[in-house]
Amino acid sequence: MMSSSFSVFRAGISFVMMCIFYTSAVDSPELSPQKFFSTLQPGKATLVYFCQAESPRTSMFLEELNEAAKPLQDYGISVAKVNCVTEETSRYCGSEKDMMKAYLFRGNIALREFPTDTLFDVDAIVAHVLFALLFNEVKYITTLGDLQNIENALKGKGNIAFAYVRAIGTPEHRAVMEAAFVYGTTHQFVLTTEIALLESIGPEDIEYPHLYFFHCKPVLDLTQPCRRILMKQSLTTLNIHQFIKTMEAPLLTEVTEDPRQVSTVHVQLGLPLVFIVGQQATYEADRTTAEWVAWRLLGKAGVLLLLRDSLEVDIPEDTNVIVRRAEEEAQMEFLALNHIDLIVFHVESTMYIEEMGKYEDMEDLNIGIQDDEVEETVYRDRKRQLPLELTVELTEETFHATVTASDSIVLFYAGWQAVSMAFLQSYIDVAIKLKGTSTMLLARVNCADWSHVCTKQNVTEFPVVKMYKEGQNPVSYTGMLGTEDLLKFIQLNRISCPVNITSVQEAEEYLHGELYKDLISYSSMSVLGLFSPTMTRAKEEFTEAGSYLKGYVTTGIYSEEDVLRLSSKYTVPLPALLLARHKEGKIESIPLVNVHVQDIVQIITNASLETFPEITVENLPIYLRLQKPLLILFSDGGIDLQHEKTILMLAKKKYLDSLTPCWLNLKKTPVGRGVLQAYFGTLPPLPLLVVVNLHSGGHVFAFPSDQAITEQNLLLWLKKLEAGLESHIKVLPAKEWKPPLPAYDFLSMMDAAASEHLTRKDPECIKETDVQEGDKEQPDDKSAITEESTGTLKMKHSSRSSWFEEAKKLLRHDNKEL
């Protein structure tokens, strides 16, 4: 589109467009000076470079010059290179020192000389050459006074395109010059590089180049300033062209045809059309409103006035604005907006989204709709009455007395915080389950009401659960925020940790799950530390580890004189750990060699992991910590014993050491279906084996469903997988979790309001009075009225306080007379 506009012939310089032999676009020919001057044609502009000898510096410049030849040629400017080395010399060749110079000729007259370092790249070359040629069309100014002079001179006569660029020779400077080449005769171009000048005009971010269009032609009263419109897009040739086109388009068009059929320059430029729907009876007022909107949307949309009664097409009764987007398939929007700002906002806000171009497939983009599942569910559940009375509400007055009087669990939450309110429900469920059975008091503190209580307990985030036991420091609960896990924590805390075992018989009962039968369901493993009575340090370390694991694992300690009986029975030297897995009925022994608290905790934690666990929502994080790929057997219901056997056998043979084998019961963990659907797109037949490499690459491999899950097949498949011979069925997305939706950009809204205020302040004064006459409902007459009324207030104020001044005057008067 641009190139066609730019191939227009212009008055002023008569360019010859035909291709002379040396203006090859690819390579500038090398001529001798004499030959060169003989080729210059009257009126034709030529950029000539006189070179002495090739050097790396000149060759770089020559490359840029070559590249500039084509665009310059579009403007009818030739490029040539003259070799000064051959035979006779010219005065343009200069001495060796200033060999880096280029000259711009019109005919055989040298217009300007350019040191080659100003022509550092194509943009700079084109910008400088056009700048020199368009000397009259583009006024370069440095002060606000210059600008005002030009503005005043053009009022009633023509319009101004005023550009600020950061420097001469920049790409944006080139863009302005290229635009000036086309529009320079219709509009006065004014250019500045002075930041201060820009600052005096508008509040915008001065780091960026700017282009304003001053509508001076319609200004007939010389005391009125020209209306200024800022171009919002970046300064590229295409954008400037579009912008000027919209500036030249009629401000307001009246149409009588079907809005679907209307076409204006805006549609061609990809801008929306805004139809103001009026009627004959209120024509004057409607036209004023439409003009108002048009000024506000100038450069952003085409505004048209449509009279309902002159139209065949049906428009919904309450519609007063129709917006038609530029895209062909776009729906017409029929709107009822009762405020000019709303129209402007509607058009601008959707334009903003279009510019972002990232929400196309989200029609219902709504920042104000809740997309946080926890917030939303808690909100929807807000009217449900919880049996809060099952827990004791603590206050500033009762907190201390309560937690010191009995063993207590305290939930710290905040009534407005969704996560803690969701957890409060689980907490109440725990209370329901424990009702009447627990010695532990269940209490809660709403930190929104008792802020200081929470702060004193060092609770600064929510929710927090703490256990207060007599004579002990409070312990924070660090498990899953759910009923089951908290219940387990409370139950396991009924016994001390580690529990002190007093006889071999008791130890056996403990190991066989008979001592704390009711706790077996909460802790599938019991740990017993065996120490001889003299191993005080080891005992201390173990005791500390035990209390660290308190509420999560049952631990016991035995260090009576006859401890050797146990040590020999389980064939382990002292000190040692016995791990009893109640589900499997196995007792494992691990010797403790020179170990510290952390190591003991680690040993017990690792031991609590199963070889082939059923993976659940609650335990997945524990197994993910191993950082190994998961081998998951998806099963619709309980696991096939044969499959379990197969995998356990492979595990026993150490074939699965690089993996975490596990299985998933879709009946118990229905969300597993979602996982399968993500892997396969559909729900595949079950059971099904997959390997998920979560921690490196996110590849998912599926065991072929036509093969039986046997030791042999599985082993072969795993080997192929390891060798990279299997292809994955899916790569899990590695996307970062970005903001789901944008936020309100208040900063931009404030800027828009500020710049509007500035640009509107003066130029629209005339308009404002018009509008007030035409339509009393206009939004902005309010501000005008308040301004006026404050003005009168000030006047009254000053007249009231001036009595002293008047008295003084009187006195002076008297003195004179005397």
Partner 1 sequence: MVRGLTPVVCRRMGLSAAAPLWGAPGLLLTIALLLALSLHPAQTWAPVHRDYCVLGAGPAGLQMAYFLQRAGRDYMVFERAPGPGSFFMRYPRHRKLISINKRYTGKTNAEFNLRHDWNSLLSHDPRLLFRHYSDAYYPDASDMVRYLSDFAERLGLHVLYNTTIAHVTLNKDRRAWNGHYFILTDHRGQAYQCSVLLVATGLPVPNQVDFPGSEYVDGYESVSVDPKDFVGQNVLILGRGNSAFETAENIFSVTNFIHMLSRSRVRLSWATHYVGDLRAINNGLLDTYQLKSLDGLLESDLTDLAIVKDHQGKFHITLKLFMEAGNQSSDAIPLPQDDNDNFAMRVAYDRVIRCLGWKFDFSIFSKSLRLSSGSELSKKYPLVRASYESKGSRGLFILGTASHSVDYRKSAGGFIHGFRYTVRAVHRLLEQRHHGVAWPSTEHPITHLASAIIRRINEASGLYQMFSVLADVVLLKENATIFEYLEEFPMQMLAQLETITGRRARHGLFVINMEYGRNYSGPDKDVFFSDRSVGHMEDAWLSNFLHPVIYYYRHLPTEQEVRFRPAGWPLPRPSALHHVVEDFLTDWTAPVGHILPLRRFLENCLDTDLRGFYAESCFLFALTHQKLPPFCQQGYLRTQGLVGTESLRQHGVESGLLWDSAIMGQRQGASEQQPGNHRPGGHPLAPGPPVSPFNSNKEEL
Site for partner 1 in 395-454 (CB under 8 A): 395-396, 414-419, 422-423, 425-426, 429, 447-452
Pick one of 8, 803, 816, 817: the residue that binds partner 1 (CB under 8 A): 803
The interface with partner 1 within residues 188-227 (CB under 8 A) comprises: none
By three-state DSSP, how is residue 350 classified?
helix
- Work out whether 622 is an interface residue with partner 1 (CB under 8 A): yes
Stretch that binds partner 1, among 269-277, 309-317, 587-595, 793-801 (CB under 8 A): 793-801
Which long-range CB contacts under 8 A does 473-478 form with residues at least 24 apart? 474/403, 475/550, 475/551, 477/409, 477/551
Q: Return d(Cα 80, Cα 50) in angstroms, integer.
A: 9
Stretch that binds partner 1, among 127-135, 154-162, 502-510, 692-700 (CB under 8 A): 692-700
Q: Which is nearer to partner 1, 163 or 515 (CB)?
A: 163
The interface with partner 1 within residues 228-267 (CB under 8 A) comprises: 232, 234
Q: Which is nearer to partner 1, 42 or 203 (CB)?
A: 203
- Neighbouring C-alpha atoms within 13 Å toward the C-beta of 773: 7
Task: Kindly list the distances between the CA atom of residue 223 and the CA atoms of 199, 201, 444, in Å, as whole numbers in the listed order.
Answer: 22, 17, 73
- Work out whether 627 is an interface residue with partner 1 (CB under 8 A): no
Q: Which is nearer to partner 1, 494 or 668 (CB)?
A: 668
CB of 371 to partner 1, least distance (A): 5
Q: Which is nearer to partner 1, 75 or 552 (CB)?
A: 552
Q: Return d(Cα 502, Cα 507) in angstroms, integer.
A: 8
Q: Which is nearer to partner 1, 426 or 646 (CB)?
A: 426
Which residue type sits at 415? G
CB of 272 to partner 1, least distance (A): 19
CB of 630 to partner 1, least distance (A): 8
Element (H, E) at 418: helix 418-434
Tell me whether strands 210-215 and 227-230 are parallel, antiparallel or unpaired: antiparallel
Task: Kindly list the distances between the CA atom of residue 225 and the CA atoms of 56, 219, 222, 229, in Å, as whole numbers in the listed order.
Answer: 53, 7, 7, 12
Tell me whether strands 586-591 and 576-581 are parallel, antiparallel or unpaired: antiparallel
Apex CA 628: angle with CA 622 and CA 634, to 5°?
Answer: 75
Pick one of 195, 367, 626, 766: the residue that binds partner 1 (CB under 8 A): 367
Q: Return d(Cα 47, Cα 44) in angstroms, integer.
A: 10
Of residues 409, 436, 414, the one with CA closest to residue 424: 414
Element (H, E) at 109: strand 109-115
**DSSP-derived secondary structure for 229-246:** EE--S---HHHHHHHHHH
Residue 462 token pair: 């929510």
The answer to whether 198 and 141 are in contact (CB under 8 A) is no
CB of 775 to partner 1, least distance (A): 19
- Work out whether 791 is an interface residue with partner 1 (CB under 8 A): no
- Work out whether 788 is an interface residue with partner 1 (CB under 8 A): no
Q: Which is nearer to partner 1, 683 or 784 (CB)?
A: 683
CB of 731 to partner 1, least distance (A): 9
- Work out whether 59 is an interface residue with partner 1 (CB under 8 A): no
Q: Which is nearer to partner 1, 248 or 805 (CB)?
A: 805
Element (H, E) at 65: helix 56-74
Stretch that binds partner 1, among 6-14, 249-257, 285-293, 675-683 (CB under 8 A): 675-683
CB of 778 to partner 1, least distance (A): 15
The answer to whether 443 and 393 are in contact (CB under 8 A) is yes
Residue 648 token pair: 């356990």
Q: Which is nearer to partner 1, 130 or 615 (CB)?
A: 615
Q: Which is nearer to partner 1, 434 or 683 (CB)?
A: 683
- Work out whether 779 is an interface residue with partner 1 (CB under 8 A): no
Pick one of 113, 254, 375, 407: the residue that binds partner 1 (CB under 8 A): 375
Cis peptide upstream of residue 463 (ω within 30 degrees of 0)? yes
Tokens 């997309």 sit on residue? 371
Pick one of 281, 362, 432, 766: the residue that binds partner 1 (CB under 8 A): 362
Q: Which is nearer to partner 1, 170 or 567 (CB)?
A: 170
Pick one of 371, 470, 722, 777: the residue that binds partner 1 (CB under 8 A): 371
Q: Return d(Cα 733, Cα 699) in angstroms, integer.
A: 9
The interface with partner 1 within residues 481-500 (CB under 8 A) comprises: 481-485
Element (H, E) at 586: strand 586-591
CB of 515 to partner 1, least distance (A): 27
Apex CA 768: angle with CA 762 and CA 774, to 5°?
Answer: 165
The answer to whether 231 and 237 are in contact (CB under 8 A) is no
Q: Which is nearer to partner 1, 576 or 666 (CB)?
A: 666
CB of 450 to partner 1, least distance (A): 6
Phi-psi region for residue 642, left (φ > 0), alpha (ψ -120 to 50) or beta?
A: alpha
Which long-range CB contacts under 8 A does 668-676 form with residues at least 24 apart? 668/614, 668/616, 669/615, 669/616, 669/617, 671/617, 672/634, 675/634, 676/634
Which residue type sits at 137? E
Stretch that binds partner 1, among 90-98, 253-261, 567-575, 785-793 (CB under 8 A): 785-793
Instruction: Compute how many other C-beta atoms are within 10 angstroms of the C-beta atom of residue 155.
Output: 19
In which order are the strands placed within the sheet that holds 554-558?
499-500, 554-558, 525-530, 576-581, 586-591
Pick one of 716, 750, 766, 795: the residue that binds partner 1 (CB under 8 A): 750
- Work out whether 585 is an interface residue with partner 1 (CB under 8 A): no
Q: Return d(Cα 583, Cα 581) in angstroms, integer.
A: 6
The interface with partner 1 within residues 696-735 (CB under 8 A) comprises: 698, 732-735
- Work out whether 692 is an interface residue with partner 1 (CB under 8 A): yes
Of residues 455, 365, 444, the one with CA closest to residue 408: 444
The interface with partner 1 within residues 97-126 (CB under 8 A) comprises: none
Pick one of 57, 358, 565, 757: the residue that binds partner 1 (CB under 8 A): 358
CB of 740 to partner 1, least distance (A): 4
How many residues in the shown chain lie near partner 1 by CB under 8 A? 109
Q: Which is nearer to partner 1, 138 or 525 (CB)?
A: 525
Instruction: Compute how many other C-beta atoms are within 10 angstroms of the C-beta atom of residue 778.
Output: 20
Instruction: Compute how many other C-beta atoms are within 10 angstroms of the C-beta atom of residue 156.
Output: 12
Instruction: Compute how many other C-beta atoms are within 10 angstroms of the C-beta atom of residue 411.
Output: 26
Pick one of 199, 373, 584, 773: the residue that binds partner 1 (CB under 8 A): 373
What backbone torsions phi and psi does residue 724 show, to the nearest 5 degrees? 80, 20
Q: Which is nearer to partner 1, 567 or 693 (CB)?
A: 693
Q: Which is nearer to partner 1, 254 or 375 (CB)?
A: 375
Q: Which is nearer to partner 1, 303 or 422 (CB)?
A: 422
Pick one of 13, 342, 392, 675: the residue that binds partner 1 (CB under 8 A): 675
By three-state DSSP, how is residue 480 classified?
coil
CB of 553 to partner 1, least distance (A): 13
Pick one of 309, 389, 747, 817: the residue that binds partner 1 (CB under 8 A): 747
Q: Return d(Cα 560, Cα 676) in angstroms, integer.
A: 54
Stretch that binds partner 1, among 87-95, 569-577, 770-778, 801-809 (CB under 8 A): 801-809
- Work out whether 746 is an interface residue with partner 1 (CB under 8 A): yes
CB of 581 to partner 1, least distance (A): 21
Q: Which is nearer to partner 1, 368 or 436 (CB)?
A: 368
Pick one of 91, 383, 738, 796: the residue that binds partner 1 (CB under 8 A): 738
- Work out whether 359 is an interface residue with partner 1 (CB under 8 A): yes
